[in-house]
Amino acid sequence: MKLLEERIKKDGIVLPGNVLKVDSFLNHQIDPELSQAMGEEFARLFKDAGIDRVLTVEASGIAIGVMTALTLHVPLVFARKKKSALINEPVYTHRVFSYTKKEYSDILVLQKFLPAGERVLIIDDFLANGEAALGLAKLVEDAGSEVAGIGIAIEKAFQPGHQRLLDKGYRLEALASVASLADGKIRFTDAADKD
């Protein structure tokens, strides 16, 4: 998606540890128009996939997730990273290791918001080692539903997550695919140049 690549080139900052900082439009301040364009692109890519529900994880997946769900006219549910006193009903939960925080968290969704027998589209902001996406996929499968696809705003194709998701047989669509962050330079893979 050209628009996203251009924005990454303009505002993305490469941090040590192969981390791309995009907090001016995706991870802290949010550009609503760009989020809408990303949601519409995910919706276009998965329009024939029979999506019943979009699932993401708080916080940065929510904006693009809601725009996708809005365009597909389906509900959005986001996994929480912390249990609160309000969560006093049965949950699906899975432990995932955070790439940026370097700590484990138990992501969870109330069972009533992940009914069985649905086709669920997983949306997230980044793909690195695949922990978050695989954790979300586990929640969907524990619920007795099917992962209809995984949509990622920015994948770092040089890290293991991309292949791990394909090896599991999931359909993966990334709007921007970063080939390398070496020497502080952002390089995209040609394959992501879809438009």
> Using CB under 6 A as the criterion, which residues of the chain lie in contact with ligand 5GP when the complex forms?
19-22, 27, 60, 99-100, 124-133, 161
Virtual torsion, Cα 164, 170, 176, 182, nearest 10 deg: 10
Q: Which is nearer to ligand 5GP, 90 or 169 (CB)?
A: 169
CA distance 30 to 24: 7
Q: Which is nearer to ligand 5GP, 118 or 124 (CB)?
A: 124
Question: Measuring CA to CA, which residue among 9, 3, 7, 6 is closest to residue 181?
Answer: 9
Q: Which is nearer to ligand 5GP, 15 or 47 (CB)?
A: 15
Q: Which is nearer to ligand 5GP, 46 or 126 (CB)?
A: 126
Tokens 């509900």 locate to 75
Question: Measuring CA to CA, which residue among 11, 95, 10, 115 is closest to residue 53?
Answer: 115
Which residues lie across from 177 on neighbouring strands?
Answer: 155
Q: Which is nearer to ligand 5GP, 97 or 115 (CB)?
A: 97
At closest approach, how far in Å is the CB of 8 from ligand 5GP?
Answer: 11
Question: Measuring CA to CA, which residue among 5, 117, 31, 98 is closest to residue 58?
Answer: 98
Q: Which is nearer to ligand 5GP, 121 or 133 (CB)?
A: 133
At closest approach, how far in Å is the CB of 65 from ligand 5GP?
Answer: 12
Taking residue 5's Cβ as centre, other Cβ atoms within 10 Å add up to: 20
At closest approach, how far in Å is the CB of 67 from ligand 5GP?
Answer: 17
CA distance 92 to 142: 7
CA distance 185 to 162: 20
At closest approach, how far in Å is the CB of 29 from ligand 5GP?
Answer: 13
At closest approach, how far in Å is the CB of 74 from ligand 5GP?
Answer: 21
At closest approach, how far in Å is the CB of 119 from ligand 5GP?
Answer: 22
